[in-house]
Structure 1
């Protein structure tokens, strides 16, 4: 793997420059995505349509599209000269990343019950993004990120780590609620209840946004910040779309619920 990286980049300085560029490009992509999503929902799940390509089984799509977010980092951490992995801040940040994607790529797809098929365009874009972001986050943290002595006791790292943990727990718990809305053999949609769903329609999205916001705060880099911004743009749009859909679909949908932020929005 080191040989491949040396073939692609003439020096470590050049690779670090490219990583910085990729981070800023992700922020630009987030802004363009924000504008696009003002006019179009992300074509997945209940919004899936063949207009965006042939449909793929949802379990297969989730499993394959998320795999690069796990395997690319594995290769970068264990099969390259990952010189910063002996440092505690880097180790903890990498653990945050891996904890999310082990669950998301190796566990979550096999827990899905039913679910609408995924259009090929959505599947392909997610697959490419997982390669892009997996390389960006993991290569920076494993080989380039330098933190001051005592960074793990800095208020920013502690607060970021707690935000990540609570966000991860909210995300996993909310997914559990959604999976268990239907009994075996049942079809159709139901109003989610319990947990943060009592306050917002997008509890699972809120949790994941919180995760990566905490990751960005603890990571203290443009690379982690870019990921947090992109995640917020995409998932906030999904939460708003879901909220509007629920209000239209169910006459008895709780009117006090907000879309994404409890009591606020």
Structure 2
């Protein structure tokens, strides 16, 4: 790994992430991705791996790749860069080692895990290289409105995301696979409060970093989660007659 900013590579990977997000949105508008509750029953059991293992493997590159870049560069001297990269790695530490161990989701298909592993490796390199080599912040950035506002959104989104995941886990007893109506927190307003929190989190991160790669990832996340949120909302409405009529799919009071 060289120590120079690979601007053309960063631009290519960022636009690629946006295009991938748009393509995923269009595909999911027609047919939901077949994992989780929508998993096809036609797959034989050997194509599936436990949810805990699947989540660990697919999310791991988003934590490991930036950490390897930090180790190889040995040049993360700027406080702003340290804090922002810590936010990114902190999210995926939680997602890989904590959420992955606690999840009670259904077994996942290997091909889904492989695809997610590739995307997480892609984005881990993109965000890590961008902050290590392509972006420099002076001390004033830590008091800049963009950093403070973005950091506030990131913390808010993280809190919503983790709390919502906790509420979803409480719906199931160990070994249980049935679906129930989520309640409490932002679930009183939207069907997928965990998705809403993650979208807020990454747009906050993109504002705090003020980089195109971070914005590309935030947009990719929003496109992917929003399209799936609509399917989740439809699933709840069709499955439960008593499902709250006032509850929106993703954004409180709006969508």
TM-score class, shorter: over 0.9
Relative distance call for 1:50 and 1:71 in structure 2 (3 A) is farther
Determine which of 7, 23, 27 is the counterpart of 1:32: 23
Per-residue CA deviations over 1:87-109 (Å, capped at 9, x if unaligned) read 12211111110110010011111
The residue number in structure 2 matching 1:191 is 181
* Structure 1 residue 143, shift from structure 2 partner: 2.2
* Structure 1 residue 24, shift from structure 2 partner: 1.4
Q: Is structure 2 residue 163 aligned with structure 1 residue 173?
A: yes
Residue aligned with 1:252, SS:
coil
* Structure 1 residue 139, shift from structure 2 partner: 1.2
The residue number in structure 1 matching 2:64 is 71
Q: Distance in 1 between matches of 2:146 and 2:29?
A: 33
* Mapping of residues 96-111 of structure 1, within 5 Å: 96-111=87-102
Residue aligned with 2:200, SS:
helix
Q: Distance in 2 between matches of 1:82 and 1:142?
A: 10
Q: Is structure 2 residue 78 aligned with structure 1 residue 94?
A: no
Per-residue CA deviations over 1:74-123 (Å, capped at 9, x if unaligned) read 11112x2253x21122111111101100100111111012x222122211
Q: Distance in 2 between matches of 1:176 and 1:167?
A: 14
Taking structure 1 as the reference length, what is the TM-score of the superposition?
Answer: 0.90
* Structure 1 residue 45, shift from structure 2 partner: 0.5
Per-residue CA deviations over 1:199-220 (Å, capped at 9, x if unaligned) read 0001000000000000001111
Count of paired positions: 253
Taking structure 2 as the reference length, what is the TM-score of the superposition?
Answer: 0.94
Determine which of 192, 216, 230 is the counterpart of 2:206: 216
Contact 2:190 2:252 in 1 (8 A): yes
Gap runs ≥5 in structure 1: none
Contact 1:24 1:222 in 2 (8 A): no
Residue aligned with 2:30, SS:
coil
The residue number in structure 1 matching 2:12 is 21
Relative distance call for 1:225 and 1:51 in structure 2 (3 A) is farther
Per-residue CA deviations over 1:205-258 (Å, capped at 9, x if unaligned) read 000000000000111111000000000011111211110000000000111100
Determine which of 142, 146, 150 is the counterpart of 1:156: 146
Q: Distance in 1 between matches of 2:136 and 2:18?
A: 22
